[in-house]
Amino acid sequence: MVVDNEIKGRLALITGASGGIGAACARDLFANGTSLALTYSSNKASLDQLVEELTPQAEGKKISSHQCDVSKEGDLRRLFDEVKQQHGQHPDILVVNAGYGKRTSNILDISIEEWDYTINVNLRSSFIITKLAVSHMQEQHWGRVIYISSIAAGGTSINGCHYSASKAGVQGLSKNLANKMGKSGITFNDVAPAMITGTGMIATEEQLKGTPGDVSNIPVGRSGSTQECANAVTMLCRTGYMTGQSLLLSGGLK
Ligand SMILES: NC(=O)c1ccc[n+]([C@@H]2O[C@H](COP(=O)([O-])OP(=O)(O)OC[C@H]3O[C@@H](n4cnc5c(N)ncnc54)[C@H](OP(=O)(O)O)[C@@H]3O)[C@@H](O)[C@H]2O)c1
């Protein structure tokens, strides 16, 4: 069987590219030769700035920007229509990064509405967007799907059980699809970060003080960077022999 790990010339769809980790993934994949379809939900200015930064380095690669609230099935369907219209194809690489997590730790403070919304944004949308993406990948017998999950999936979290459950669900989705679709040419993996600063979720190490994510509790003694998340995502895109894996990116935190 031919081994094809070339990502140059492919189209990558990255959700939540208006945020820290999504933007870093966009920069890294773009530097490695992919065209980009990028989404934002509310922060258009941030994505416009990223597109402006990347456009001078385009060299024939295309970048498109799309508004999409991933909690709405209609938005996800419109996103795929727009991508097809603007790039003439559906994505070859899908980075399911958009995510939500309001920091509420105690189950008694987590409302049922908050539970439903968190599951909707993080898990239900991951299922729907994957369903929309796999047909094109199957047809060409090549695809890469990477979910940004979290260390929280395993229970360790500065957030509550709603967030952990949503991210554990994403890992289950990914591992099941890796098994069921192993022969399709599509790989499914997740990157499970912890304490990544320079993001909307955690701006600085200062915000982690006194929490279980305090850098004094992290074995390597610092927070992680968005570039380090992007490194793992790009590696997974280039490594078709790896599927069904969850990469814990946590500076040694368990
Ligand atoms: N930072 C960490 O330490 C850490 C650790 C573990 C996992 N993660 C995961 O990493 C991913 C990226 O987060 P980040 O750390 O980069 O934080 P961020 O900078 O706050 O980015 C979050 C992104 O998700 C988008 N988003 C939120 N709700 C959405 C919705 N309903 N529909 C569509 N997009 C939505 C935001 O879009 P707008 O801003 O445009 O609204 C933004 O682009 C998330 O899945 C998060 O759970 C982060």
Burial of 203 per CB tally in 10 Å (0-12, 13-18, 19+): exposed
Determine the pLDDT at residue 244: 98
Q: Is the CB of 193 under 6 A from ligand 1?
A: yes
Nearest to 31 by CA among 41, 23, 43: 23
Determine the pLDDT at residue 184: 97
Q: Is the CB of 160 under 6 A from ligand 1?
A: no
Is 163 one of the annotated active-site residues of the chain?
Answer: yes
List 144's β-bridge partners, or say none.
93, 187
Rounded CA separation 77/79 (Å) = 5
Distance 108 CA to ligand 1 centre (A): 24
Strands 63-67 and 246-249: unpaired
Q: Is the CB of 130 under 6 A from ligand 1?
A: no
* Residue of 40, 100, 147, 163 marked active site: 163
- Among the atoms of ligand 1, which is closest to the Cα of residue 16? 43
Location of structure tokens 């790989």: 187
> Which CATH number does the domain 11-249 belong to among 3.10.20.520, 3.40.30.10, 3.10.310.70, 3.40.50.720?
3.40.50.720
Distance 78 CA to ligand 1 centre (A): 20
Determine the pLDDT at residue 239: 98
> What's the average pLDDT block by block, 10 residues per block, for the chain (254 residues)?
95 98 98 98 98 97 98 98 98 98 94 98 98 98 98 93 98 98 98 98 95 93 98 98 98 95
Determine the pLDDT at residue 172: 98
Q: Is the CB of 249 under 6 A from ligand 1?
A: no
Q: Give me 92's structure tokens.
A: 């070859």
Determine the pLDDT at residue 197: 98
Rounded CA separation 141/151 (Å) = 31
Determine the pLDDT at residue 156: 87
Residue 168: enclosing H or E segment and its boundaries?
helix 161-180
Determine the pLDDT at residue 43: 98
Ligand 1, atom 24, lies closest to the CA of 98
Determine the pLDDT at residue 16: 98
Ligand 1, atom 26, lies closest to the CA of 98
Distances from the Cα of 216 to the Cα of 105, 145, 205, 208, angstroms = 20, 34, 10, 10
Q: Give me 194's structure tokens.
A: 């912890």
Q: Is the CB of 143 under 6 A from ligand 1?
A: no
Q: Read off φ and ψ for residue 89, nearest 5 degrees.
A: -165, 165
Residue 49: enclosing H or E segment and its boundaries?
helix 44-54
| HSE of 16, CA atoms in CB hemisphere, 13 A | 22
Residue 36: enclosing H or E segment and its boundaries?
strand 35-40
- Non-local (6+) Cβ contacts of 181 within 8 A are 134, 138, 188
List 66's β-bridge partners, or say none.
39
Ligand 1, atom 7, lies closest to the CA of 150
